Amino acid sequence: MRPSLRPVCIAGTGACAPKQVLSNAELAQRVDTDDAWIVSRTGIRERRVAGPGETCSELGAGAAKHALEMAGLDAHQVDCIVVATITPDTVFPSTAAYIQRLLGCDRTAGFDLSAACSGFVYGLTVASSLVAAGTYDNVLLVGAEVMTSITDPLDRNTCILFGDGAGACLLRPAAKGEPSEILHSILRVECDDQVLVVPAGGSNLPASHDTVEARQHYMKMQGRATFRFAVTSFKSLFEETLEAAGITQERLRWIVPHQVNQRIIEAAAKRTGFPTERIAVNLDRFGNTSAAGIPMCLDELVREGKLERGDHVLFVAFGAGLTWGSVLVRW
Ligand code: UT7
């Protein structure tokens, strides 16, 4: 961060998950799979599924309330709401607009940001820049997804992986004497619309009877290619970020990665030499919740007292776009 900019502190975190749990055994009644296969190939044991009333904005607002409470702020003090999501309530209004209404913020800006599973690191870079530049003081960053709304319940390649949920952070300028700072960020995009894509429903192929019949409103994924891309980008983001920030991996307390697949995380840990015990994971209980996974996992670390002010924590993410990115934070 340039010295003329204000150092930024993540003053509050929060999470919110739907009530309904979907186990691997329940999925095995719907598609040709089994618990042992899913656990050994992904590490996922169960995920949450949004029910009626548990929209993307409801989950996001639930997480945001907890983050505001931890930061000791109320809704009237929020200056901007940034929502990272690829499963908004509606194409428009934005999910940020619905969250404004749910929270009762009365003088806030708000917009959505689309970077798929990299949404949280993109959002953190944008939200922290708004605070660092002095544009806003209190920025609420929400990662919220109802991934089950775009996942084909009959496609065993994808339906075993994804779940629903939301996480949130409240960003504000660091107070005098607080060690907190956003130290470095890397963001990348390179178009590939074959590896991970929802083919229909956008302006290129508007939803129609035919697109629904062909199940083109659901995501299509090349699992192997995504796997390779995730391991490679995890390693390069890890190395580039630490080198750019000039810190060694021993000084890094935690990596909070995109909650993608235990095997991807272990393969990346092996290639980087970073100990898996210091890589935070919640995918066993929530599956892949796209932009919500990192802030949900971060909230667990904070509430369990595993992250202290002054600790270094690295967020790494990769996903559709293709997008990938990282943010290094001094907590
Ligand atoms: O945010 C990014 C989102 N994307 C991801 O996270 C995906 C990353 N990729 C992966 O996690 C893995 O590639 C998968 C978990 C999707 C698949 O694991 P894999 O080890 O790459 O398996 P595979 O696709 O190579 O398939 C191996 C076998 C195949 O059978 P044959 O051809 O060897 O007879 C598949 O048909 O496993 C079969 N298979 C399944 N079997 C039981 C594929 N899905 C399943 C399933 N249950 N759900």
Catalytically annotated residue among 9, 56, 80, 117: 117
Tokens 């075993």: give the residue. Answer: 160
The residue whose CA has the least distance to atom 2 of ligand 1 is 319
Gap from CA of 31 to ligand 1 centroid (Å): 13
Amino acid at 128: S
pLDDT at residue 182, rounded to an integer: 97
CATH fold, domain 8-173, is Peroxisomal Thiolase; Chain A, domain 1 (3.40.47)
pLDDT at residue 328, rounded to an integer: 98
pLDDT at residue 4, rounded to an integer: 78
Q: Is 227 in the pocket of ligand 1 (CB under 6 A)?
A: yes
Give the chain's residues under pLDDT 50.
none
Give SS3 for 60.
Answer: helix
Q: Is 199 in the pocket of ligand 1 (CB under 6 A)?
A: no
Class of domain 181-330: alpha beta
102 prior amide bond cis, ω within 30: no
pLDDT at residue 3, rounded to an integer: 55
Tell me phi and psi for residue 192, to 5 degrees: -145, 110
pLDDT at residue 31, rounded to an integer: 97
pLDDT at residue 117, rounded to an integer: 98
pLDDT at residue 164, rounded to an integer: 98
pLDDT at residue 11, rounded to an integer: 98
Spatial CA neighbour of 68 closest among 150, 170, 152:
170
Q: Determine contact, residues 8/173, Cβ cutoff 8 Å.
A: yes
Catalytically annotated residue among 56, 138, 169, 258: 258
* Residue ranges, CATH 3.40.47.10, the chain: 8-173, 181-330
Q: Is 260 in the pocket of ligand 1 (CB under 6 A)?
A: yes
Q: Is 289 in the pocket of ligand 1 (CB under 6 A)?
A: no
Told to judge if 258 belongs to the known catalytic residues of this protein, a careful annotator would answer yes
